Amino acid sequence: MNHQKIYRFAILSLTAAFLAACGTKQTKPLPTPQPMPPVKPGAPMPTGTPSPLGYIHTPGGGASYKVVSHQTMPQWQQQNFVESLRAFRLGCEKLQGQPNWRNVCVQAAQTPYQNAQAKSFFEQYFTSWEVSENGKLGGTITGYYEPVLHGDAKQTRQARFPIYGIPNDFVSIDLPANLRNSKGTIHVRQTGQNKGVIDANGPYSANLAQFPISNRTRALKGRFVGNQFVPYYTRAQINGGALDGKAPILGYADDPVELFFLHIQGSGRLRTPDGRFIRLGFADKNEYPYVSIGRYMANRGYLTLGQTTMQGIKAYMQQNPQRLAEVLGQNPSYIFFRQLPGNGEGPIGALGTPLLGQYAGAVDRHYITLGAPLFVATVHPTQKYALNRLIMAQDTGSAIKGAVRVDYFWGYGDEAGAVAGKQKHTGYVWQLLPNGVMPEYRP
């Protein structure tokens, strides 16, 4: 999971349904209510005033949000609201300090784990907003999971592939929005371990045209070479030994393909021969864009389009090890990890709280409020029945872009991975926000 950003593996497969369209009438935004006054512990919290049914809010970015009844969401009555409430409570560890979320988090803590009460909580305290983008209701739902790798804390004949922490020479420098489209040269200076700033009098020059900058880039990731600041190593360079002696090693994986998928998922657990687990979480990345190796393999004829699932790629690499460096090197993006404590709870998402398997997901925080309940209607990737569920938007992903775009978290381990690796279907999204709180677009 990306503790701020993380890559997801967009598996190539067929879409399950056609996209639908909706109107995007522009209306004047409703005023955001002031934070409600505190109440006595244990007393019901004020529910707030919901926006009227049919109200349409278009804050920007091509997104539109329409107020609808909870009952319009498919299979709303059949939801396991207890698990949805459990996932929401996990997120409240971070949300409860925010004025818009304080009261609903207090009420959530007072709501018992009983389905009728949990259902009433979501219905009374939240407004349902049907989400569309550029006039389309349908979007894409993919899946991810927390992998379990086999390996060891030390290098052995079997465990040979290092899992790196942040390298010693890796430097991150915040990039202001006005420079994202620039191809000019700037000056920078180092301010501490792995940190630097843009400074007109800095001793190092950086040619922005050399860096992989997009309109969402928030930082330059690079290293100092002489009097220049240059982009950091790509995956191909790192796999070729560029980090030897330059980065802490948190453990060693037995299988380089399994390690590659750890990078795609962004977090996981390394199981050692004595049964212990080393928990690994996202620390930083080299800022190169994610490139799908599945698409590359299909284009080269190594696999058919239908075979480019996670399982299909693994099987191919086991049979064709001579193409390992070539294929893996097509994705220049590289993730650096940090060791996390504990093994009992789920991985930590971008919100900063544990993710509950099948009740959390990654979203584009430009369109969806991080921490908000999110109703997703799609298709189960293996069973093919309608998968309609109230989950929590508690994670993000660099490959997750758009208002109607969700990466569904399936849990951890091989079983979860087998399902997540086959998920890419059309889906529909409703965002639930506390009554009176408006959806936002954050450029």
Overall domain count for the chain: 2
Q: Is residue 255 part of a domain?
A: no
Containing 311, the helix (H) or strand (E) segment is helix 310-319
CATH number at residue 208: 2.40.50.270
pLDDT in tens, 167-190: 999 999 999 999 999 999 999 999
pLDDT in tens, 101-111: 999 999 999 99
Inter-residue long-range contacts of 68-71, CB under 8 Å, 24+ positions, other chains counted: 68/128, 68/129, 68/130, 68/430, 69/128, 70/122, 70/123, 70/128
Residue 192: how many CB atoms within 10 A of its CB?
8
pLDDT in tens, 302-320: 999 888 877 789 899 999 9
pTM: 0.71
Residue 201: which domain range? 171-231
| Paired tokens of 408 | 């569904």
431 in Cβ contact with 131 (< 8 Å) = yes
CA distances from 86 to 110, 118, 375 (A): 12, 9, 15
CATH number at residue 375: 2.40.40.10
**Same domain (yes/no): 135, 209:** no
Given a cut of 50, whether residue 85 has pLDDT beyond it is yes
Three-state DSSP at 122 gives helix
| Paired tokens of 166 | 């942040």
Q: Is residue 214 part of a domain?
A: yes
Of 202, 231, 260, the one marking the end of a domain is: 231
Residues 367-383, mean pLDDT to the nearest whole number: 97
Residue 119 identity:
K
Cα–Cα dist 411/419, whole Å: 10
